[in-house]
Amino acid sequence: MLVPLGTLLGLLLLWQLSVQLGLVPNFLLPAPTQVLAALVREAPLLASHALTTLVESALGLAIGCAVGFVAAVLMDRFEPLYLAFSPLITISQTIPTVAVAPLLVLWFGYGLAPKVVLIVLTTFFPVTVSLVSGFRSVDPDLLDLMRVMRASGLQVFWQVKMPAAAEHLFSGLRISATYAIVGAVIAEWLGGFSGLGVYMTRVRKSFSYDKMFAVIFLISALSLALMAAVDLLQRLCLPWKRAERK
């Protein structure tokens, strides 16, 4: 923990000195102290916009994870579905988000709907792929044992497949949590009434780069907070993993 923190502080110090010594023009790159001052000065407004982005991210992430979970279960249960939709799901992630966002705004307007749809499109993929991989990593001998013991399909799923895939699920969920914030900001760039993406568009037009960097730092902090929440949820749901590490 100390090494990454020290590296970050060293980079910030190097950044500050580069600006103060005139190696980088200040109007292009504000110093970290200027960014911090903008963050404090704009705190009430940033908090309001951040709340909108968090609501969009949480709603889209919840729906995206639910869709990804259902898709993974169906693809594991029915092999034809896996063969039919696995390539299509992969192809869907090759389409740039910034190319889809304008269409969603055109179809659903400037409200909450296009943001949530875009977040769902970007967050279901890691959950689906991770879960399918986890389901297929189950020991075949264990599945044969459950069949010999005349276990039902539901019992096999909850007692064998789900515990084996749980860690894969949280790995995908951790990635989806970061995608949720970024997806919400990208959707807000192209239209909206509030949110960090809307705020970034406004300050960019006024060339307020200190505020721009303040928003970037805030987005990173929110993404890290969501990842920490996923880690906490994993520790609560998978206590045996913590015991194994010890």
Report the pLDDT value the prediction gives residue 66, as an integer from 0 to 100.
Answer: 93
Closest to 223 in 3D by CA, of 179, 186, 191: 179
Q: Provide CB contacts within 8 A for 101, sequence distance 6+.
A: 114, 118, 186, 187, 189, 190
Q: What is the Cα–Cα distance from 103 to 100, expressed in whole angstroms?
A: 5
pTM of the model: 0.82
Report the pLDDT value the prediction gives residue 70, as an integer from 0 to 100.
Answer: 92
Report the pLDDT value the prediction gives residue 59, as an integer from 0 to 100.
Answer: 92
State residue 61 phi and psi, 5-degree precision.
-65, -40
Report the pLDDT value the prediction gives residue 23, as an integer from 0 to 100.
Answer: 80
Q: Which helix (H) or strand (E) holds 143?
A: helix 140-148
CATH number for the region 61-86+96-245 comes to 1.10.3720.10
Report the pLDDT value the prediction gives residue 245, as an integer from 0 to 100.
Answer: 59
Report the pLDDT value the prediction gives residue 241, as an integer from 0 to 100.
Answer: 65
Q: Are 111 and 56 in contact (CB under 8 A)?
A: no
The tokens of 140 are what?
């075949």
Q: pLDDT 10s digit of each residue in the chain, 246 long?
A: 677 778 888 888 888 888 888 787 777 788 888 888 888 888 898 999 999 999 999 999 999 999 999 999 898 888 888 888 888 888 877 777 777 877 887 888 778 888 888 889 888 888 898 898 888 888 788 877 888 888 777 888 888 888 888 888 888 888 888 888 888 888 888 777 788 888 888 888 777 888 888 898 899 888 888 888 888 888 888 776 665 555
Q: What is the Cα–Cα distance from 196 to 45, expressed in whole angstroms?
A: 10
